[in-house]
């Protein structure tokens, strides 16, 4: 009975920590979950190695999704953005607030567009600022009953190097192109002014001054997004992360599934 109560107590403590708003407390909650799993298997087997193996099972749970769903995904090689109306604000977390913040910072609205990736809808609100020499976007991702929004600010230098600051809450599912420098800030940062300040600091840290940046063309923002996605797809084809299916689509290779598993593990550890 003592062992059972110990495991139950640890689970309750872990769930309490996971509901905290503090990042450190949530990470501690994840550690307590692992320890509770270790205790459960250890008390059953009275073997330390079995307890460790039981705790490690959490890190292999993503393979259920990878082998049952991701492996069968087919995504289009050529994907085009289409003009779309903004989704209902109730399904667009922080989108209205982010758009107001962009306008307050002097960014001008360019367009609303989106595309579909194997059942996932992505909606973009695009803004630009000629003096900042930057493009800002707020994006809504919808898949089945799950929806989340994130903000990105992008600058491009005269050599074609892309500098991006974003609060995207997950690790990338495809490898980024070598010419893209990704500055990931905490997803807890939803204030556009904070993210813009982080982007300025990021450029300063990389010794990029305003004169080094290109003034974006609002007329070709959508084409730029499409071109960047195609370059990323080509880069991942060369890297062996994805492979062609012969019908105009691509899918994750075995190497790609391992890469995705590694990304899932990073998300589990980071717990933004």
In this predicted model, what pLDDT tens digit does every residue of 138-149 receive, in sequence order? 988 887 667 788
Q: Which residue has the higher pLDDT, 228 or 8?
A: 228
* Res 205 pLDDT > 90: yes
Q: What is the mean pLDDT of residues 116-143?
A: 88
- pLDDT single digits (tens) 35-71: 888 888 888 888 999 889 988 888 898 999 899 988 9
Lowest-confidence region among 60-64, 74-78, 110-114, 191-195: 74-78
- pLDDT single digits (tens) 213-256: 999 999 999 999 999 999 999 999 999 999 999 888 899 999 99
Report helix angle 95-104 to 192-205, nearest 10. 60
Distances from the Cα of 176 to the Cα of 182, 183, 225, angstroms = 8, 12, 14
* Predicted local confidence at residue 272, as pLDDT: 46
* Res 93 pLDDT > 70: no
Angle of CA points 134, 137, 141, to nearest 5°? 155
Structure tokens at 140: 């809504």
Q: Tell me whether strands 249-252 and 180-184 are parallel, antiparallel or unpaired.
A: unpaired
Burial status of residue 26 (CB atoms within 10 A of its CB: 0-12, 13-18, 19 or more):
middle
190: helix, coil or strand? coil
Q: What is the mean pLDDT of residues 148-159?
A: 92
Q: What is the pTM of this model?
A: 0.84
Q: What is the mean pLDDT of residues 109-128?
A: 86
207: helix, coil or strand? coil
Task: Count CB atoms within 10 A of the CB of residue 177.
Answer: 14
Residue of 196, 89, 86 whose CA lies nearest to 152: 196
* Predicted local confidence at residue 82, as pLDDT: 87
> DSSP secondary-structure letter at 181?
E
Residue 77 pLDDT grade (very low, low, confident, very high; cuts 50, 70, 90): confident
Task: Count CB atoms within 10 A of the CB of residue 53.
Answer: 14
Q: What is the mean pLDDT of residues 3-12?
A: 84
Q: Which residue has the higher pLDDT, 188 or 137?
A: 137
Instruction: Tell me the CB-side half-sphere exposure of residue 12, using CA atoms within 13 A.
Output: 6
Alpha helix (H) residue ranges in 19-59: 23-45, 48-56
* Predicted local confidence at residue 126, as pLDDT: 94
Q: What is the mean pLDDT of residues 63-92?
A: 83
**Could you state, in order of their start, the residue ranges of all structural domains in the chain?**
2-60, 78-250
* Res 6 pLDDT > 50: yes
Angle of CA points 259, 263, 268, to nearest 5°? 145
């Amino acid at each position: 009975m003592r062992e059972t109560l110990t495991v139950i107590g640890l689970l309750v403590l872990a769930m309490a920590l996971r509901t905290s708003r503090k990042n450190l407390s949530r990470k501690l909650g994840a550690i307590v979950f692992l320890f509770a799993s270790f205790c459960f298997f250890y008390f059953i087997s009275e073997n330390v190695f079995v307890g460790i193996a039981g705790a490690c099972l959490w890190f292999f749970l993503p393979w259920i999704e990878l082998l049952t769903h991701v492996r069968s995904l087919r995504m289009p090689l050529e994907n085009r953005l289409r003009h779309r109306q903004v989704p209902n604000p109730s399904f667009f977390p922080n989108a209205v607030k982010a758009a107001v913040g962009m306008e307050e910072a002097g960014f001008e609205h360019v367009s609303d567009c989106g595309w579909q990736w194997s059942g996932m809808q992505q909606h973009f609100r695009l803004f630009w600022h000629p003096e900042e020499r930057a493009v800002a976007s707020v994006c809504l991702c919808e898949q089945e009953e799950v929806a989340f929004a994130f903000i990105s600010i992008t600058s491009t230098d005269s050599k074609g190097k892309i500098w991006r600051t974003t609060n995207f809450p997950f690790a990338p599912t495809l490898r980024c192109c070598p010419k893209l420098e990704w500055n990931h800030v905490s997803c807890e940062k939803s204030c556009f002014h904070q993210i813009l300040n982080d982007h300025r600091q990021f450029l300063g840290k990389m010794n990029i001054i305003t004169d080094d940046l290109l003034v974006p063309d609002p007329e070709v923002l959508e084409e730029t997004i499409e071109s960047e996605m195609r370059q990323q797809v080509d880069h991942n084809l060369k890297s062996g992360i994805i492979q062609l299916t012969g019908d105009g689509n691509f899918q994750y290779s075995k190497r790609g599934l391992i890469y995705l598993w590694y990304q899932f593990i990073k998300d589990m550890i980071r717990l933004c």
